[in-house]
Amino acid sequence: MKRPANVIFKPFQLRLLLFVVFFSYAYTHGQLSKTDSWKTKGDYETAIKQRMNNLLTATPTASHPYDSLLSELYDEYEAQYLNLGNQGKWEEALPIALACEATFIGELPARKEADLVYNIGYIYDKCEQYLHAIDYFHRSIARYEAINDAEEQDVRNGIALAYNNIGVAHANTGYFTQRKESYLKAKALWESIDDVDKSNLISLYGNLLRLYRQYGDKQAAEELITTINLNVDQWIAEDGFASGNKGMETVKPKSFYQVEKHRLNILYTDLISDKAGGLAHLDSLRTHFRHMNGDDQKRFSAYLLTAISHAAAPLVDYDNLAERKQKKQYLDLGMRESIRLGDQYNQMIFHSQLVSYCLDAEHDMETALSHLDHAIRIGGEMDIREFNLLNLYFKKADVLQQLARFSEAEELVLNGISVLLDQPVNQPDVVTIDDFAQRNDIYYVNALNQVAGLYSQSLKSPIFLF
């Protein structure tokens, strides 16, 4: 959705990106938006340097030497960007953190500087500037390792956090090998720490399990889910998950970790097509989810909704009337719950899944088009990830072509290509391999396969699409 998270920055924990099966957003080159009321990095740099100069003219005391005063000044600016992050104002937090880097690096204790570099990576990640985020996470690792090599402090947790976040960021760039390697490095580090925060481990295990499911690695997934099932109940009983509010995220209720355990099991049952097992885990998950208060249910809505989606996924024997009916019931349940919880993103997901159900089970193209229109409308109201919007456009184009509505299908294909290239296009063949330099994920490949399929079908048709 995720980085281990009951706090936000270092030495805090990290967030759990909710990668509903469909997550994986490509790196964007877009510039951060800015209003006139926002200060720039230069504004903050000027203000910080002026205050640093003032400190030089002040008279330090034994209890407050210059280094201590400087550290306190940094703490003040750190609190500012932490507070903005707590409010979700990542674009406003970024110039403050970058100004701190420009002015305080070389002046602070090594651990504090490593934490600052990590924080900048985290903010870049939240701003969806994934390559910048990865660069800063690697820089923070180098700093933590220097501290570790000097045996001054045990900073394995900081290194593991950064590696885990690199893996999550690579889920958005599509680099499978780097993603897996980063997760495994974090796993080795966290498992070597006796008193590790178990919320970090369960979050990392979830990241790995989603990776294994996405790429069909059943053996690795089986080994991992066995580890999860052997440990999570004991960790809950021993209160092994961090309970303090050290950063900007509120504490997770204990029922959250039961929900997460069953959700991860459902990811595995989806991978191995264990229909009964998935539905049994979903029943247990829903019981624990109901123990959350209303605010927590909305906060963790994606955990319930993705579980419903994955539990229903193996129900594809549409010749079996009972299973077909069951599939529709669970998709309808997911839609109702996403509406109740105000989760528009997952409303889009369930509309997309209902499209597939209408086409494959009911052969009802008109209802499928209605769900596609609802999903695309949501895409116009919020960010649903570029690859999702592409797939919606191309899927609708495919349905329209089957209905012999060729000009409408062509328009949607061009709309999709325009989204991909971030500029209007008149012909689909303007796409080149270079357009995928930072779009390595399987979902983009699938989207272009759909376009190829449209070409193929159009050439077989007496009326060409293009």
**pLDDT tens by residue, 92-151:** 999 999 999 999 999 999 999 999 999 999 999 999 899 999 999 999 999 999 997 777
pLDDT band of 182, cuts 50, 70, 90: very high
Q: What contacts 24+ positions apart, CB below 8 Å, involve 81-90?
A: 81/119, 81/123, 82/8, 82/9, 82/247, 82/248, 83/248, 85/8, 85/9, 85/123, 85/126, 85/248, 86/8, 86/247, 86/248, 90/123, 90/126, 90/127
Between 110-114, 140-144, 242-246, 325-329, the lowest mean confidence (pLDDT) is in 242-246
Between 172-186, 272-286, 320-334, the lowest mean confidence (pLDDT) is in 172-186
Enter the CATH code of domain 1-252: 1.25.40.10
pLDDT at 245 over 60: no
pLDDT at 108: 94
Token pair, residue 7, equals 């706090």
pLDDT band of 248, cuts 50, 70, 90: very low
pLDDT at 149: 78
From the centroid of its chain, how far is CA 2? 6
Mean pLDDT across the stretch 368-373? 97
pLDDT at 63: 61
pLDDT at 261 over 70: yes
DSSP string over 53-88? HHHHHS---SSS-HHHHHHHHHHHHHHHHHHHHHTT
pTM attached to this predicted model: 0.80
Between 101-115, 323-337, 434-448, the lowest mean confidence (pLDDT) is in 434-448
Which amino acid would we find at residue 292?
M
How far is it, in rounded angstroms, from Cα 170 to Cα 440? 10
Q: How far is CA 415 from CA 253, 355, 376, 395, in A?
A: 44, 20, 12, 12
Q: What is the pLDDT of residues 11-63, one digit of tens each?
A: 333 333 323 323 333 333 333 344 334 689 999 999 999 998 888 777 666 66
CA atoms within 13 A on the CB side of 402: 13
Which residues are CB-contacts of 306 (< 8 A; sequence separation ≥ 6)? Answer: 1, 18, 20, 21, 263, 346
pLDDT band of 65, cuts 50, 70, 90: confident
Q: Cβ distance 443 to 395 under 8 Å?
A: no
Residue 37, class by beta-carbon neighbours within 10 Å (0-12 exposed, 13-18 middle, 19+ buried)?
exposed
Which amino acid would we find at residue 287?
T
Angle at 346 between CA 400 and CA 445, to 5 degrees: 55
Q: Sign of the CA dihedral 332, 346, 271, 358?
A: positive
